[in-house]
Amino acid sequence: MKSIKKLPKVSFIIPTLNAAHFLPSCLNAIRTQEYPQDKIEIIVADGGSTDKTISIAQTAGAIIVSNPDIIQEPGKTRAIEVASGEVLFFTDADNTLAHSHWLNCMLEPYLKEKNVAGLLPQTIPPPDSSSFNRYLGYLFTDPFTWFVYGNGANPVDYEKEYIPYKKTEDYTLYQFDVRNHPLFGLAQGVGTTSSFKKKGMGRNDDILSGIQLIAKGGLVAYIPKAGVYHYHVTGYSQFLQKYRWRIRNNFLQKIKGMGFVNREQYLNTQRRWKKFMFIPYAFTGLLPFIDALRLTIRYKDIVMLWHPLACIGLAFEILNEGIKYKLGIKSKLASVYGK
């Protein structure tokens, strides 16, 4: 690591909306990093919280930016506009850095290598969360996206899909191609340089922003020791509620530019076919159960047995919302995820 004088200033970008329950843990993990605190900037883009979110953020010395768009992605864009860090890290209020040397781990490839544009941590299951949330933590994403992207869905599996540009004991560098891009977005602790400006096609979708980052060239570093706890959902019911919102918006596009439909043009042929195969896969029951057993053995945790139920529930929501959309049945879409 460089001397303190040469260490880069970093900005943590955190979009919030009534996040008082999770935010203290998120901010405390940042403020207890083994890194000069005068080189850490926290910017909270708030969508109009009515709880103690703002006062909690102010206590941690965060800069508060108003986000009249409410949803997360435009909030990140607004925060970027005022960020003064050399490196930007995108965390949500329900993210907690797993240890106090997280920032030093994440910055190592940036300080040692040339042309590093992206920094990827590893999302890990919070031990104090529900069994369903831990299942999603291992999966890294929802079961539909996991099915479509395969080994490109989780950084821990990237080497099964992509040839590393360079591999060290502490990080792996990749040079990705847009047409066979991995799944990551500007969220869950992902970092990028301040020269990358999230504009245009990625404004309302964090994964689309990840594709944009790859398109601009540069290397992406995966740092497995930099874990991030993600409190994604409280349980199965909230999972269905949250993804029902996302699926509905994907069809209706009330919030334009957000959702899978806006990224389909960047999928390779295999992934396009797998998109259509997810529902048959889910409703067989047997195939998700076989995957659940395989995942349980791999991660040594029976929470992976949630996989068949998660697949069936998500497939039903996709079918239900798709049929209503085709029949012209109008569905309400709340202004906030999962409502």
Q: Which pLDDT value is given to residue 202?
A: 53
Q: Which domain holds residue 249?
A: 236-326
Q: Into how many domains does the chain fold?
A: 2
- Based on the domain organization, do 196 and 240 belong to the same domain? no
- Based on the domain organization, do 176 and 310 belong to the same domain? no
Q: What distance, in Å, lies between the first and last C-alpha atoms of the chain?
A: 44
- Based on the domain organization, do 32 and 153 belong to the same domain? yes
- Based on the domain organization, do 289 and 142 belong to the same domain? no
- Based on the domain organization, do 248 and 138 belong to the same domain? no
337 in any annotated domain: no
Residue ending a domain, choose from 207, 230, 253: 230
- Based on the domain organization, do 177 and 241 belong to the same domain? no
Q: Which pLDDT value is given to residue 255?
A: 81
DSSP per-residue string spanning 92-104? -TTEEESSTTHHH
- Based on the domain organization, do 240 and 226 belong to the same domain? no
Q: Cα–Cα distance between 86 and 91 in angstroms, integer? A: 16
**Which residues have a Cβ under 8 Å from the Cβ of 3 and sit 6 or more positions away?**
none
Q: Which pLDDT value is given to residue 333?
A: 73
Count the alpha carbons within 13 Å of 130 in the hemisphere toward its beta carbon.
13
Each residue's pLDDT, cut to its tens digit, for the chain (339 residues) gives: 554 458 999 999 999 999 999 999 999 999 999 999 999 999 999 999 999 999 999 999 999 999 998 888 888 989 999 999 999 999 999 999 999 999 999 999 999 999 999 999 999 999 999 999 999 999 999 999 999 999 999 999 999 999 999 999 999 999 999 989 999 999 999 999 988 764 444 567 889 889 988 988 889 999 999 999 999 999 999 999 999 999 999 998 888 888 888 889 999 999 999 999 999 999 999 999 999 999 999 999 999 999 999 999 999 999 999 999 999 987 777 665 544
- Based on the domain organization, do 112 and 134 belong to the same domain? yes
Q: What is the CATH number of the domain that holds 21?
A: 3.90.550.10
332 in any annotated domain: no
- Based on the domain organization, do 140 and 242 belong to the same domain? no
- Based on the domain organization, do 259 and 112 belong to the same domain? no
User: Which of 218, 211, 107, 225 lies closest to 155, judged by CA?
Assistant: 225
Residue ending a domain, choose from 230, 252, 274: 230
User: CA 93 from chain center: how many Å?
Assistant: 12
Question: How far, in Å, are 30, 92, 143, 171 from residue 286 at the CA level?
Answer: 43, 35, 15, 37
163 in any annotated domain: yes
Residue ending a domain, choose from 203, 230, 257: 230
280 in any annotated domain: yes
The answer to whether the CB of 46 falls within 8 A of the CB of 17 is: yes
Question: How far, in Å, are 76, 172, 311 from residue 168 at the CA level?
Answer: 31, 6, 36
Q: Which pLDDT value is given to residue 203?
A: 66
- Based on the domain organization, do 108 and 196 belong to the same domain? yes
Q: Which pLDDT value is given to residue 1?
A: 53
64 in any annotated domain: yes
- Based on the domain organization, do 118 and 154 belong to the same domain? yes
